[in-house]
A and B are shown apart, each in its own frame.
Chain A
């Protein structure tokens, strides 16, 4: 089955007053129709920048320097602004971390959603209102008629995020990019929102690129996951395989660092050092400075992606010399 979205060897850099920041360095993954793909990593791993690059909404000083983003057969990196317009919001929609700043405070939420519906679909005012109410029920907002006339600040964080999801769905997008959609929400609300996303995938066949730093969220919602570090994916595959076999030392480190009741009384296993800041390209494998299994070869050459041990038909892949001898550079 052809992938809905296919990111290949994406490189993004930023020109800042401190120098050039290499935010994304060879990001490669694809998302099938109707799949929830989790892009997980800590701060500075390039996951948010990747999502901005897909929609071509990088801030002024950011550039896609290499790579391809294939959506529906077209390479998004080659499209002009005009050509991107019908894709943004219509085919690919995005929701962000803080719903309170994503909604315009001076318009009612009903107004905001009908505007989008009318812009993308050309409906009449009547039809747009109808559709808006439908969307609000789709995202399980209680009493859609009343919500229609409320202002964003009158709604709680969870409800705001539901409105955002409704807005994203308003024009029938096939891919939803959700950048840390629940990080700013309370955990019980987070639970509800994640359930909503999974439900939307079931019912509408929506594909979702879920960006998060929370491995638990990934475990419970994503079909496939890509673990990102220093701007590239170091391990990718079906969620249960990646999280339970945890072949890449970074994945292992991340999971081991999670406090769990089973470890009570013992020290947590931490990964020494801190994440790279992107101002310089680390030679060899980007993780080698912090890796407990570092070998000589890791210091000068970057490992390519290879099938993980025990992987059936290449679905689970790791970029690490412990598992492959393939060299990229």
Chain B
């Protein structure tokens, strides 16, 4: 091919790399900037620590407690209603099971529930939002009216209604909650896509004849995910909270499976004299939701260039 233009090219090579990317191999690393702002928030770091401890506790539950079978559900009637002692640091519940063990195993259920609900809601909600935002027209109308219907119900009531229709149990509860949650993500993604759609690189993609689905998959979705992850983090706490609420009406995760929610709902009958198992479960739920809220808030502030602390 022909020679390049000499004069400008020489000087262009002399222009230094933009300092925002020292290695010059990373994409516009929004996450790096977010992390820098995030780590300045003590509460958020505290929250992160708590969650990590809880997750590790849940994973290593069998090793961390001397009563793994009790954690899984085996009763120990002889020792029921024991207050906290050296043998049972958090006491025992109405079936004599070690509360600490129940808590560690309960974490497996509750945390997994939270993560799965949010992930499923994202999987359903995000693509619908992208389709609605990008295609517009009747697709947009149909999807938006559907979300309107779902969002018209108070989320707790909706979750209750669906859960009672499906029945109790881990999977059913998870499905019920995911169905309650997806519309918010659709809305969020749709508004992001509406503004992103106007950017020139999308027009450029259309001008080379890229079909809509490719444009949505390669260009739109990757660029809208940051606010989605922020919202997802905030929702993790709420999801766990609502699954707990379902336990109070007999739905949700059922015993003997350990779950923070059912620990609270079972334990409330005995709460006045023997607060330790409802209390510890309640406390750990409180800490979890608090932690996710701190993390989510800090993420949201960090992700917004205006609120970001430099």
Contacts and interface: CB of A to CB of B under 8 A. Distances in A.
- A and B in direct contact, judged by CB atoms within 8 A: yes
Question: How many interface residues does chain B have, given as a range?
Answer: 10 to 19
Interface string A249-280: 00000000000000000000010111001010
Contacts of B33: 17
Interface of B: 7-8, 10-12, 14-15, 18-20, 33, 36, 310
Interface string A58-81: 000100000000000000000000
A310 interface: no
A274 B18 CA distance: 12
B19 A19 contact: yes
A106 interface: no
A16 interface: yes
A290 B36 contact: no
Determine the main DSSP class of B at the interface with A.
helix
Nearest to B308: A17
B25 to A, nearest CB: 17
A1 interface: no
Contacts, number: 25
Nearest to A270: B8
A287 to B, nearest CB: 13
A17 B19 CA distance: 10
A270 B10 CA distance: 14
A289 interface: yes
A312 interface: no
B20 to A, nearest CB: 5
Contacts of A279: 19
Contacts of A102: none
Question: How many interface residues does chain A have, given as a range?
Answer: 10 to 19
A279 B11 CA distance: 19
Contacts of B11: 272-273, 290
A18 interface: yes
Interface in A132-147: none
B310 A272 contact: no
B8 A61 contact: no
A100 to B, nearest CB: 17
Contacts of A150: none
Contacts of A18: 19-20
A15 interface: yes
18 contacts: A15-B310, A16-B310, A17-B33, A17-B36, A18-B19, A18-B20, A19-B19, A61-B310, A272-B10, A273-B11, A273-B12, A273-B14, A273-B15, A274-B15, A277-B18, A277-B19, A289-B14, A290-B11
A290 B10 CA distance: 11
A17 B310 contact: yes
A318 to B, nearest CB: 24
A273 B8 CA distance: 7
Nearest to A271: B11
